[in-house]
Amino acid sequence: MEKASQQSPHPRRDWLRGLARGWKGPGDVVSLLMIINGDMVQKALAQLSGDTFVPVAFSFGWVVFSIQAFSTALGTGRLMPAPDMESIVINLRSGHQRVNRSWILGRLLRDWDYKPLDTGGLYITVLDAIDEEASQANPESNLPTAGNGQRQPVDQLVVDPEGGGSSNNSASHPWSRRHHTLTLASFWSRIHRVKLWAMAESKQKGRTWLFAWFVIAVQIVVASVPLLVDHDASALIITILGTGLAMWCGSIGQWKEEKWCCRRDTEKCCALLEGNGGAHVMVLFGNGVGLDLEDLAGNRVLSRASTILTGSQALLWLCLLILIARDEGQTWYLLTVGGLGILQNIVVAGSTRPASAFGFHLREREVFHCATVRDTLCKAEESIPDLGCILRPIFLPGKPTVKDDEAFDAAIAKREGRNQQAEEGATSSGRAGADDGNTATLNHRTQGGDES
């Protein structure tokens, strides 16, 4: 009888009132959303990391990401995510294949616009790496150079863990830590090197970069509304703390080191492709100014120095989560701020970016495409030695047919014949020039004898 008397005579109204109170102040929802999946946060950081200030917005998922980053730093020591798509890198001079483990190489292959004309066949795009001087129209086209503007030999280049750029092992090099002579020239060369590191300090950030900063500005404005209306600064304080923590997480030097862990100024010629079944192959010529794709594909970790940093950041994110859970004030504003942040993370993580945003400054030389894969490979073999033959076992596996052998033999013979004609033409033109020079010398001597 007592239980019956304690029950409300209108349980439906009580349920509606509770539902209304939940919509009026959904504080538990905000703290719950903070621990959802952090994969988008990691990919957004991978897209924009490398600069001093990385504009990845405060959003839902940062707590989980920070804990995952700390756990990964203790284990494999990596911060960058795994590649979005499976791909391989082939050295076209040695034929060596390497499975790609670099996130930026996967994005380079995914985002390159090769403009397919139809749905069939294979596309082979040949690209040349270009230098800053050769690409003045693109403000991002700048790769590491020495202070005197000279390119360093590729066998003398190592990754500088502090600066991320290429350096020399010599103690007399102006970038060496053991070089302590502070002159105006050496100081300017160091500043110049920092500015020229295209992967981190490029001037043309693109629409993705501008959109990221715009969303952060809108978040600050939204969080400032309760301060102006209700004189409640809790939402603004939490937003500023979350944004500062997010930028600190993105400014860790290992993002930069792991993203571009490779030698620079390489002469290698490599192919980047998905493998059998893929519709596109990118052939990149280093030309002495490009990045080493084989080093990038290996994705070797330089150090585990970020373990303490990631652990400290995870602890601070947990403290911020407790602060959000205790806050019973302007939770709708925090939901709006977090919603804008997760929208920014999704857009940034999935957006396509130009190759120059990842440090690849490329110029398209030619594109090979035919109705069949075999014809495309043969056409490529006619122009670039061994390109079609190295790609043949990947796209035409199994026992070779007689037609395939005949087609490739004809392509090789055509290329060699064209090269032989070019050599004969160059030899004949050289002989003609030498004959002209001898004739001019003889005439000069004859004129001198007549005058005497």
- pLDDT at residue 437, as a whole number: 55
- pLDDT at residue 328, as a whole number: 65
Per-residue pLDDT of 361-394, as tens digits, reads 999 999 998 888 999 999 999 988 889 999 999 9
- pLDDT at residue 84, as a whole number: 87
- pLDDT at residue 91, as a whole number: 93
Tell me the whole-structure pTM to 2 decimals. 0.71
The single-letter code of the amino acid at 268 is K
- pLDDT at residue 300, as a whole number: 77
d(CA 182, CA 180): 6
d(CA 430, CA 400): 43
The most confident of 4-13, 314-323, 439-448, by mean pLDDT:
314-323
Average pLDDT estimate for 133-138: 51
Phi, psi of 443, deg, nearest 5: -65, -40
Pick from 174-183, 300-309, 325-334: least confident:
174-183
β-strand 280-285 against 123-129: which pairing, if any? parallel
Length of the chain counted residue by residue: 452
Among residues 224, 228, 257, 255, which one has the least CA distance to residue 240? 224
Tell me the pLDDT band of 172, cut-offs 50, 70 and 90: very low
d(CA 444, CA 368): 53
Per-residue pLDDT of 21-79, as tens digits, reads 544 555 556 656 666 767 889 999 999 988 788 899 998 889 889 998 898 888 888 88
Average pLDDT estimate for 103-131: 83
Average pLDDT estimate for 341-355: 90
Tell me the pLDDT band of 242, cut-offs 50, 70 and 90: very high
Longest dimension (CA), the chain: 145
Tell me the pLDDT band of 431, cut-offs 50, 70 and 90: low
Tell me the pLDDT band of 317, cut-offs 50, 70 and 90: very high
- pLDDT at residue 323, as a whole number: 84
- pLDDT at residue 449, as a whole number: 53
- pLDDT at residue 423, as a whole number: 73
- pLDDT at residue 415, as a whole number: 85
* Percentage with pLDDT > 90 across the chain: 28
7: which 2 tokens?
A: 């029950």
Tell me the pLDDT band of 155, cut-offs 50, 70 and 90: very low
Q: How far is CA 69 from the centre of its chain?
A: 19
Per-residue pLDDT of 400-413, as tens digits, reads 888 888 888 898 88
More reliable by pLDDT, 260 or 153:
260
- pLDDT at residue 35, as a whole number: 66
Q: How does DSSP classify residue 362?
A: E
Among residues 376, 211, 205, which one has the least CA distance to residue 281? 376
Per-residue pLDDT of 203-232, as tens digits, reads 346 788 889 999 999 999 999 998 898 888
Instruction: Provide long-range contacts, Cβ within 8 A and 24+ apart, for 221-229.
Output: 222/333, 222/336, 222/337, 222/340, 223/333, 223/334, 223/337, 225/333, 226/329, 226/330, 226/333
Tell me the pLDDT band of 198, cut-offs 50, 70 and 90: very low
Tell me the pLDDT band of 446, cut-offs 50, 70 and 90: low
Tell me the pLDDT band of 140, cut-offs 50, 70 and 90: very low
- pLDDT at residue 315, as a whole number: 94
Checking if the pLDDT of 135 tops 80, the result is no
**N-to-C CA span, the chain:** 145
Average pLDDT estimate for 331-336: 84
Average pLDDT estimate for 140-145: 37
Helix (H) or strand (E) holding 97: strand 97-99
Q: How does DSSP classify residue 155?
A: G
Contact 316, 70 (CB under 8 A): no
DSSP state letters, 103-115: HHHHHHHHH----
3-state secondary structure 246-286: HHHHHCCHHHHHHHCCCCCCECCEEEEECCCCCCEEEEEEC
- pLDDT at residue 436, as a whole number: 57
Q: How does DSSP classify residue 81?
A: P
Per-residue pLDDT of 270-312, as tens digits, reads 999 998 888 899 999 999 898 999 999 988 776 667 788 899 9
- Share the mean pLDDT of the chain: 75
- pLDDT at residue 152, as a whole number: 35
